[in-house]
Amino acid sequence: MAKGESLTRVAYEQLREAILTCHAEPGQRMNIGEWSAHLEVSPGAVREALSRLTAEGLVVAEPQRGFRVVAVSVEDLRALTDARVTVEEIVVRRSVTRGDVRWETRVVAAHHGLSRTPLVEREAWSRAHAELHEALVAACDNAYLLEIRRGLYAKSERYRRLSAPLSRSRRDVPDEHRAITEAVLARDGERAARLLCQHIESTAQILERGLFSPLAQRRTRSARSTSADAR
């Protein structure tokens, strides 16, 4: 790999991580000079990375104004959720049908890892959560569907990180993960798909209330105002 391409890859990966973890907030303008200095790469590498992220739908290129992180909205969350449940249903059914013993072992290990990770350890929990959801569908034999699924999952994570903590809901999320895992290991594709889709839709409903209710929006404005005053 050429040095220029390598630096662009580094910039792309770090900028993508910043957006998906909300360190670069929705709607934020991406100043190429500032990111170039922060990542210690050339402005050209940052510009190319942002162009790639534009193609992924994470960044918007504005004529004469540069790049901006894609904003969030209730309409986008609903459309994203609809796409996720459609794709997840397909890939989990394929995974259940085609999975072998090695796949089962991975699913069991991923579920155990998530169940032993406290929700308060947010970064570790997020990684364990992603690993379980990835493991559930890993035996799907269509790489294109899996790639689409990963992209949709990553975008949904951005909403989850912006929302009020899931622990405030009355859901028993560990029990949901256990039920999905058991259905997958029992090779019950219909039940696994139904439980997984319900799990995704329930999460989206909580995110919608947490992000877009009038009370949540007032809290967000208040927090931003306090932060600005502190500066």
Domain with 22 in it: what CATH number?
Answer: 1.10.10.10
Structure tokens at 81: 């959720």
Q: Please check whether residues 93 and 139 belong to one and the same domain.
A: yes
pTM: 0.78
Q: Please check whether residues 112 and 180 belong to one and the same domain.
A: yes
Q: Please check whether residues 143 and 211 belong to one and the same domain.
A: yes
Residue 35 is part of which domain span? 3-69
Residue 180 confidence (pLDDT) = 98
Q: Which residue has 């899996």 as its token pair?
A: 146
Torsion sign over Cα 187, 188, 190, 195: negative
Residue 7 confidence (pLDDT) = 81
Q: Please check whether residues 53 and 101 belong to one and the same domain.
A: no
**DSSP reduced 3-state for 141:** coil
In a domain, 223, yes or no: no
Q: Residue 167: pLDDT above 50?
A: no
Q: What CA–CA distance (Å, rounded) separates 170 from 175? A: 12
Q: Please check whether residues 110 and 51 belong to one and the same domain.
A: no
Core vs surface per residue 144-174: b (16+ CB within 10 A) or e: ebbebbeebbbbbbbbbebbbebeeeeeebe
Q: Please check whether residues 111 and 96 belong to one and the same domain.
A: yes
Confidence of residue 214 (pLDDT cuts 50, 70, 90): low
- For the beta sheet containing 59-62, the strands, ordered from the edge strand earlier in sequence to the opposite edge, are 29-30, 66-69, 59-62
Q: Please check whether residues 124 and 64 belong to one and the same domain.
A: no
Tally of structural domains, the chain: 2
Q: Residue 81: pLDDT above 70?
A: yes
